[in-house]
Amino acid sequence: MLDYGSGNVRSAVRALERAGARVTLSAKAEDVLNADGLVVPGVGAFATVMKELRDVDAIRMIGRRVAGGRPVLAICVGLQILFEEGVEHGTTEPGMGEWPGKVELLPADVVPHMGWNTVSAPEGSMLFEGVEQERFYFVHSYGVQKWEFDVTHAGIKPPMVTWSEHGAPFIAAVENGPLCATQFHPEKSGDAGARLLRNWVNSLRKAPGTAAA
């Protein structure tokens, strides 16, 4: 798991260990680049998370993993920073740009969106296999409300996008080859989140005890 100062990640570490992973909490290049799977947590503001990632050279390392087909799972703000930009309090901050789109305030009567919510997962989802109808735990005020990815090359498999709703539809998860991300917190989502994490760990195609940074 990527350690870049994002706050309390102990619950995520424990949840991954229960899912069968051997977890190393680190920002060292050799750990981040060589792990079978990298988990990128995210807590706080979009701009703050981007700065913290830059401070430990994580933007480059995440990009290298994705380019090399090495699995990455991003959580909460970790999902948000993968998009082109985030708008918070009238300020626009560039993201990593792995996917087109903008993170904006949810148009709901009550924010943050805090608590359990259902999702609408696409058929064939790896992450949501066995938990397609379950609820997951969200804590966020901002989200990506439009999916703008355009596949222009024949033979390229489009990403799988899972949606939820709070005031308006927003992206709850994305599965894009080696790069997966969830807006909700699987480590706080009970049995459903535990199954989702097992699905991801198992997708690394390693025996139980696989390494995950």
Distances (CA, A) of 194 to 3, 64, 105, 131: 21, 28, 28, 10
- DSSP alpha helices (H): ranges in the chain? 10-18, 29-34, 46-55, 58-67, 77-80, 190-203
d(CA 104, CA 120): 20
Active site residues: 76, 185, 187
Where do we find the tokens 């596949």? Answer: 151
The residues that bridge with 160 in the sheet, in sequence order, are: 175
Among candidates 141, 132, 187, 139, which has minimal Cα distance to 160? 132
Q: How many whole angstroms from its chain centre is CA 161?
A: 12
Contacts of 60 (CB under 8 A, 6+ apart): none
